[in-house]
Amino acid sequence: MNLTPKIKQQAAQLRTQLQTAGYVYYVLDNPIMEDAVYDKLYRQLQDLEAEYPELITPDSPTQRIGDKPASQFNSVKHNIPLYSLENAFNSAELAKWETRWQRQLEKIPEKFTYVCELKIDGSAIALTYEDGILVRGTTRGDGVAGEEITQNIKTIRTIPLKLKLDNPPPRVEVRGEAFLPLDVFESINQSRNQSGEALFANPRNAAAGTLRQLDSKIVAERKLNFFAYTLHVVDREEEAVTSQWNSLEELQEMGFLVNPNRKLCNSLAEVEAYFNQWDEGRKTLPYMTDGVVVKLNDYQLQKLLGFTNKFPRWAIALKYPAEESPTVVKDIIVNVGRTGAITPMAVMQPVQLAGTTVQRATLHNSDRIAELDIRVGDTVIIRKAGEIIPEVVRVLPDLRPSGTIPYQMPTQCPECNSTLVRPEKEAVTRCINISCPAILRGSIIHWASRNALDIRGLGERIAILLIENNLVNSVADLYTLTIEQIASLERMGTRSAEKLVKAIAESKNQSFDRILYGLGIRYVGSTNAKILTQSFPTIEALSSASFESIEAVYGIGEEIAQSVFEWVRVENNKALIQSLQTVGLEFKAEEIDRENAGELIFADKSFVITGTLPTLKRDEAKKMIERWGGKVTSSISKKTDYLLLGENPGSKLAKAEKLGVKQMSEEELLEILKQ
């Protein structure tokens, strides 16, 4: 079907509806439509753009999540430098700052004001808009240059892809803070703890790490938020805002979320009152703040004062003191996560810290333990200012009792007694026995997840009940559960039990790659599982493969190969595979449904699809290629064998021609597969 004006109008209307709904939901916190309605409109726009790729615009809501992981981040120079702020830690230092900036002026103005804003404990980012459209997002870096992370920035719902201006300036530069709300941060750490990953120490580190994820889908899942606080309008001097207060108001009009807890102050006394007010009030906020940013409001004064080689003279950060407390280490224990990660924890005499009673603090890994030289009986300083997870800051060796001995990480798993492994170049020690009781709950949840066996109704609550009632000791035991056993569990009736048993039985039909992914082998994601099962179509072939042959598979690196090679040689893992085969799961890739197929036509061939194909949807073409041994990637490189070419191909065609990549039409593809 040809692209008609009516279809264009429909797409534009859908974009406007979704942009408006997103703005009032994420920025104004005032939903105007049900989630189901939003999802339906989003799917309509998504379908239109899939059928007519030329309808896709940079500000389309569908472009918030990137379609492919970035291979790396490029360093780019900021259009306007991002200066750090000088710090003050008390009212005397704040007064010295005021005296200092006033000395820089020939004449002190009779009246001036300060703008006070909460200093958000996150990660500074710079945004560039051209003609109202977001074209670039970067990290702060060293202030002069940062990493270009536009694809990740687009996942943050409180950052508009298009400014809410009828006549936007040619270029707008916005600065602000990306941060993780506390409830989101806690949820992420709970998930990481269950999966055996190292916990984030604080929301700031988590936000910074999230922004540098190569896969923007992971960034989207972590639900970063953003407060805008600086506005630079380029080439619009006659209409430029004249003060920081007005710029915050204009940022709101443009569609940004601006922190509402700001204040215009007429004196340092008012600044200090604001600072003292939020010293207690910040404990109730849904995000972390570690101080107050104080700025001279008048832009003309800012311009006159300028910058030192490090800081703006017209702004300062008044910081809250870090809350630290001494306590005594009573014990050092270790926790075992889903992936077998062994995380040491200090168990301490209870102490009040930042309004909560703290008894445990993470020690991260054996390297951190060695660095601290922490021992049972030591007096330590722990901190929780700007920190959600209490951590040991330092040990006080002068108070160490005699006879203490350095702590040694265990060599055997405390849960299953398997030998622990610390992979080369890693700080984390791990148990690699998948039948380890501590790993079991997370393994069941992972096994039942959507990208693995997709067992509907089997979530964390049911997994815990099954384990607590000794009904399962491995994922294989799921397949011997009866309706009566499940119905006997707390808050589980016969009807729910019937549905779950049916879902478990249906999961036996899942493909080999999903089963391999479901086993939870470290580093083996759903894509890698598919690649592995194409090269090793049976579990026997994979189990007997050498490390070198696994590593040689295109797309499988050294880490993945080593992990798989070790996993299939653990006796308990071998027994698990045997049990799963006994209950009816097929550890065998689907055979090609074709007489005398011989070898796979596209074995070891790499494809990139571009443009709109005449009859096939991209997913259909991808499945055909993969069925015949090929791989479909998102970007052109020297390793690409074929470019599957449709209408309106875009920049990939030019790059393919430059690299000499062969081109193939849909007609040619279908003709090859008929032979």
Catalytic residue among 107, 119, 263, 623: 119
Is 35 annotated as contributing to ligand binding?
yes
Distances (CA, A) of 43 to 14, 18, 60, 525, 620: 10, 11, 12, 26, 18
Catalytic: 119? yes
Alpha carbon distance 288, 305 (integer Å) = 31
Helices vs strands, H then E, count in the chain: 24, 21
Q: Rg (Cα) of the chain, in Å, rounded?
A: 29
* Closest residue by Cα to residue 366 from 324, 421, 408: 408
Alpha carbon distance 143, 623 (integer Å) = 45
Name residue 172's beta-bridge partners: 129, 233
Is 117 annotated as contributing to ligand binding?
yes
Read off the DSSP letter of residue 405.
-
Alpha carbon distance 529, 637 (integer Å) = 23
Alpha carbon distance 426, 436 (integer Å) = 21
Is 431 annotated as contributing to ligand binding?
no
Is 116 annotated as contributing to ligand binding?
no
Is 413 annotated as contributing to ligand binding?
yes
Is 77 annotated as contributing to ligand binding?
no
Is 177 annotated as contributing to ligand binding?
yes
Is 39 annotated as contributing to ligand binding?
yes
Query: 3-state DSSP call for residue 625?
Result: helix
Alpha carbon distance 84, 544 (integer Å) = 56
Name residue 124's beta-bridge partners: 177
Is 25 annotated as contributing to ligand binding?
no
Residue pair 135/242 in contact by the 8 Å Cβ criterion: no
* Closest residue by Cα to residue 143 from 311, 361, 19: 311
Residue 127 phi, psi dihedral angles, 5° rounding: -120, 140
Read off the DSSP letter of residue 305.
H
* Closest residue by Cα to residue 336 from 244, 215, 428: 428
Is 265 annotated as contributing to ligand binding?
no
Is 593 annotated as contributing to ligand binding?
no
Is 477 annotated as contributing to ligand binding?
no
Name residue 88's beta-bridge partners: 318
Alpha carbon distance 214, 148 (integer Å) = 11
Is 416 annotated as contributing to ligand binding?
yes
Tell me the catalytic residues: 119
Residue list, annotated binding site for Zn(2+): 413, 416, 436
Binding residues for NAD(+): 35-39, 84-85, 117, 140, 177, 295, 319
